[in-house]
Structure 1
Amino acid sequence: MTAYLITSVSVVGAAPTDLLIRDGVVAEVEAGLSAPDATVIDGTGLVALPGLVDLHTHLREPGREDAETVESGSRAAALGGYTAVCAMANTSPVADTAGVVEQVWRLGREAGLVDVQPVGAVTVGLAGERLAELGAMADSAAQVRIFSDDGHCVADPLLMRRALEYVKAFDGVIAQHAEEPRLTEGAQMHEGEVSTRLGLIGWPAVAEEAIIARDVLLAEHVGSRLHVCHVSTAGSVEVLRQAKARGVRVTAEVTPHHLLLTDERAESYDPVFKVNPPLRTASDIAALRAALAEGVIDIIATDHAPHAVEDKECEWAYARPGMLGLETALSIALDVLGPEWDLIAERMSRTPARIAGLTGHGVDPAPGVPANLTLVDPAVRRTIEPAELASRSRNTPYARMTLPGRIVATFLRGEPTVLDGKAVK
């Protein structure tokens, strides 16, 4: 295993120092280090962060390898500075059995670019009718701890209660896609002034807020862990704030696109801007940003959702919702939060690793810890070119936008997965 000496690097925004990686761990962090056997990386102007962790990634395999594979999605993640991702269950077949989650887990190990932690389905086939094999998935080689029907809401309150009770036995988490389906039937975008003007059926904010309100009450009653996926409205923030004040065991995520893009993007009728939940208003964005800084929203999660060309480049009404996110998430965070390195490390690495129970991830570079880290050049501004992305899909809403920050290197247990901004394999 090659040793690496990173010189004059800022660790999470601190004063420049040297960082030595050896035998898969951070061996030393001290100015003036010397290691004749190590490969030297000039870290001048770079910031070292704990490897990013994404709690919400769609890798599509098995079933839609035309849109993404575990390998291609892992490569995109590494290029985005990630060392671990949680792969959502809406594959084909659905990841609702021990066999499927173990398949995804093994594919991630074979790719060797990031740690791929499967998310198990809450219900069989995501149908919302009966619980999936939660215990078998938890006991499998993949050791699943997060369960979600993402893309579908667990709308039945009795079933949601049973799921929360079941996972409590092994400190699992139910990650809810908060959408009351009876309020969003036929919806195409956020319900508001823009949807009225465009004549598109609206997706009301209350459809999200009502489910979150119900589920925090259920989680409080059961005493179990609830995670809310892709929070998108100011009203949702207030429900979460009140729940946390009462001590409910609830965490929440926001996506990069919900921190940056508004529903006005739909005026172009470009389906790349169609996503679920939909892009909201400027006032919602302001509330989400404030909640992220405050900690009411715990993490940034990408909801990386690759789609094949035929599923996106069509009429708005028929396009599938979803956007790419892994390779641009840190840049959006820098654009929205500025170079608040400790906050970025907290929201994109430490806290998501803690929620997912990913040992060895989300730990700041320090002597003796696993060398899961990324090096960022904050001075670079890059223009996003879809053809240059590692994902098999091209549905990025940031095409030709110029964003801050460039991932220079990513290390997974001391082995580089990205060097000089390029994937190693």
Structure 2
Amino acid sequence: MQLIKKAQILSQGALVTRDVLVDQGKIVEVAPTIAPKADMTVYPAHGAFLTPGLVDVHVHFRDPGYTAKETIKTGSMAAAAGGFTTVLAMPNLNPVPDTVQRLQAQIQRNQADGVIHVGQYGAISADLTATEVADIKDMAAAGAVAFTNDGKGVQTAETMYQAMQAAAAVNKPLSAHLEDDSMLHGGVMNAGKRAEELGLPGITPLAESSQLARDLVLAQAAGVHYHVAHISTKTSVELVRLAKQAGIKVTAEVSPHHLLLSENDITEDNALLKMNPPLRSEDDRQALIAGLLDGTIDMIATDHAPHTSEEKAQSMRQTPFGITGIETSFALMYTHLVQSRVMDLATLVDRMLVKPVEAFNLDAPIEIKAGATADLALFDLEHQAEITADQFYSKGRNSPFIGWSVYGSTVATWVAGQQVFERN
């Protein structure tokens, strides 16, 4: 048995001090004080914040196929270091999990190598690009948590509609990477004045919002749970808000970098600021914050996308899209949203834990109470720390937040009562 002493936990929206007793992977008691006994290992929390482990519905672990960037082991350790105990991994791998056999092999790989719970998306279509829909029914039965062609927009409305119908039939979410290829024109950042000043090709926000409008109409007809990955534009937020009002079953996620940065932060050709979708305008950023606050955007997801240092040493014109994010997300969100009084701590936990679990129907705890699985994360809300690359467990060092000062660093993480991370 392990006794976590003097932790702060959320109770009815307020922080209270509690002792938490864990045995055989479950929480067995939560009380103002629990007397230690000889058979207990005591872990002093020193007033740090204890929560059920966070959930990220959008990560890239690159394994198999791209293990120079990340592996399931390094990616899941990075997740644990960020306070996450459940993540959903994207299918842009080699081979792509676009058949039952490939999906089953990937699930087995995730279970063997992951130090946390790693759920797996199945692909909508073969190799993420085919127009013929994959065997969604059988892949769902084989364990796919949801379906997506993340990294590629589904270009054909008929393909998307058929995929939605198949996902609806098995009651699984379909997550969309929104990108109309005909409107990209080789862009590497948001189209607008800043791109023109830097002489870099831009990506119009219409590449996202026009495909979203199409998909919302299709989702209404199909009756599917449609999930918007990494939403980035004001128009997209307005479309999701209207869709929810119309009764369409839609959820949306936003990434920390789109909440904290805009195209104004790109002052030079900087590959660490190249992500897809790109950093948008300040108006877009403010709309994303407003949408997160009013519930139009349901959750925060990192889109953790590691790349090698060599790849990110290039110009934005050549470097791949994406940044790492799973190790820094809670601390960045706590510092810049909670400490700055944009939202309270309970709302942040709702967006990083409760809403992801509810939307994707995941078997993960959302409350610290007797009987719950002991997937837990402990965060230091009191002391400031600097984000440094040498602390990362991820192979990727491609973060624009290196050097930022934050509160809310992860102290320790447990999965089913077993400690899988502790900060030195």
Category of TM-score, reference length = shorter chain: over 0.9
Residue among 133, 136, 150 paired with 1:134: 136
8 Å contact 1:273–1:397 — kept in the other structure?
yes
Question: How far apart in 2 are the matches of 1:238 and 1:92?
Answer: 36
Q: CA deviation at 1:309?
A: 2.3
Question: How far apart in 2 are the matches of 1:122 and 1:158?
Answer: 12
Identity over aligned pairs, percent: 34
Residue among 390, 393, 413 paired with 2:416: 413
Could you say which residue in structure 2 is the equivalent of 1:160? Answer: 160
Could you say which residue in structure 1 is the equivalent of 2:214? Answer: 214
Question: How far apart in 1 are the matches of 2:177 and 2:31?
Answer: 45
The number of aligned residues is 416
Equivalent runs, 1:11-30 vs 2, <5 Å: 11-12=9-10, 13-30=14-31
8 Å contact 1:50–1:345 — kept in the other structure?
no
Question: How far apart in 1 are the matches of 2:365 and 2:346?
Answer: 12
Question: How far apart in 1 are the matches of 2:232 and 2:295?
Answer: 15
- For the residue of structure 1 that corresponds to 2:47, the secondary structure is coil
Question: How far apart in 1 are the matches of 2:336 and 2:293?
Answer: 10
1:309-347 superposed Cα distances (whole Å, 9 cap, x missing partner): 232111220000000011001012112321522112211
1:177-230 superposed Cα distances (whole Å, 9 cap, x missing partner): 111111112111101110121122211112111111111111111111100000
Structure 1 stretch 361-370 or stretch 78-87: which is displaced more?
361-370
8 Å contact 1:128–1:156 — kept in the other structure?
no
Question: How far apart in 2 are the matches of 1:167 and 1:228?
Answer: 15
Residue among 93, 112, 115 paired with 1:110: 112
Structure 1 stretch 244-253 or stretch 105-114: which is displaced more?
105-114
Could you say which residue in structure 2 is the equivalent of 1:385? Answer: 388
Equivalent runs, 1:178-197 vs 2, <5 Å: 178-197=178-197
Calculate the TM-score normalised by the size of structure 2.
0.95
Matched to 1:73, the amino acid is G
- For the residue of structure 1 that corresponds to 2:266, the secondary structure is helix
8 Å contact 2:180–2:207 — kept in the other structure?
yes
Could you say which residue in structure 2 is the equivalent of 1:346? Answer: 350
Question: How far apart in 2 are the matches of 1:399 and 1:363?
Answer: 30
Calculate the TM-score normalised by the size of structure 1.
0.95
Is the aligned partner of 1:297 residue 2:294?
no
- For the residue of structure 2 that corresponds to 1:14, the secondary structure is strand
- Structure 2: give runs of 5+ residues left out of the alignment: none
8 Å contact 2:27–2:371 — kept in the other structure?
yes
Structure 1 stretch 290-299 or stretch 382-391: which is displaced more?
382-391
Question: How far apart in 2 are the matches of 1:72 and 1:262?
Answer: 29
Could you say which residue in structure 2 is the equivalent of 1:90? Answer: 92
Residue among 352, 357, 360 paired with 1:356: 360
Could you say which residue in structure 2 is the equivalent of 1:72? Answer: 74
- Structure 1: give runs of 5+ residues left out of the alignment: none
8 Å contact 2:198–2:269 — kept in the other structure?
no
Matched to 1:347, the amino acid is R
Question: How far apart in 2 are the matches of 1:394 and 1:46?
Answer: 27
1:85-125 superposed Cα distances (whole Å, 9 cap, x missing partner): 11100001112122222233222222351111011111100
8 Å contact 2:198–2:268 — kept in the other structure?
no
Runs (4+) of structure 1 exceeding 4 A deviation are: none
8 Å contact 1:96–1:124 — kept in the other structure?
yes
Question: How far apart in 1 are the matches of 2:400 and 2:104?
Answer: 32
Equivalent runs, 1:206-245 vs 2, <5 Å: 206-245=206-245
Could you say which residue in structure 1 is the equivalent of 2:253? Answer: 253
8 Å contact 1:68–1:391 — kept in the other structure?
yes
1:283-317 superposed Cα distances (whole Å, 9 cap, x missing partner): 21111111111110000000000112232111220
Structure 1 stretch 93-102 or stretch 368-377: which is displaced more?
93-102
Question: How far apart in 1 are the matches of 2:82 and 2:329?
Answer: 7
Question: How far apart in 1 are the matches of 2:413 and 2:102?
Answer: 28
**Aligned-residue RMSD, C-alpha:** 1.3
8 Å contact 1:78–1:114 — kept in the other structure?
yes
- For the residue of structure 2 that corresponds to 1:374, the secondary structure is strand
- For the residue of structure 2 that corresponds to 1:380, the secondary structure is coil
Is the aligned partner of 1:397 residue 2:400?
yes
Matched to 1:276, the amino acid is N
Q: CA deviation at 1:135?
A: 2.1
Return closer, same or farther for 1:243/1:160 CA change in 2, 3 Å cut-off. same
Matched to 2:43, the amino acid is I
Question: How far apart in 1 are the matches of 2:106 and 2:118?
Answer: 8
Is the aligned partner of 1:121 residue 2:119?
no
1:216-252 superposed Cα distances (whole Å, 9 cap, x missing partner): 1111111111000000111111001000011110000
Matched to 2:20, the amino acid is L
Question: How far apart in 2 are the matches of 1:101 and 1:311?
Answer: 28
1:157-176 superposed Cα distances (whole Å, 9 cap, x missing partner): 11110001001121111100
Question: How far apart in 2 are the matches of 1:362 and 1:244?
Answer: 26
Equivalent runs, 1:316-355 vs 2, <5 Å: 316-338=316-338, 340-355=344-359
- For the residue of structure 2 that corresponds to 1:64, the secondary structure is coil
8 Å contact 1:145–1:171 — kept in the other structure?
no
8 Å contact 1:176–1:226 — kept in the other structure?
yes
1:248-284 superposed Cα distances (whole Å, 9 cap, x missing partner): 1000000010010111233221101100000112221
8 Å contact 1:354–1:362 — kept in the other structure?
no
Structure 1 stretch 384-393 or stretch 106-115: which is displaced more?
106-115
Question: How far apart in 2 are the matches of 1:315 and 1:14?
Answer: 46
Could you say which residue in structure 2 is the equivalent of 1:7? Answer: 5
8 Å contact 1:188–1:203 — kept in the other structure?
yes
8 Å contact 2:413–2:419 — kept in the other structure?
yes
Could you say which residue in structure 1 is the equivalent of 2:279? Answer: 279
8 Å contact 1:259–1:336 — kept in the other structure?
no
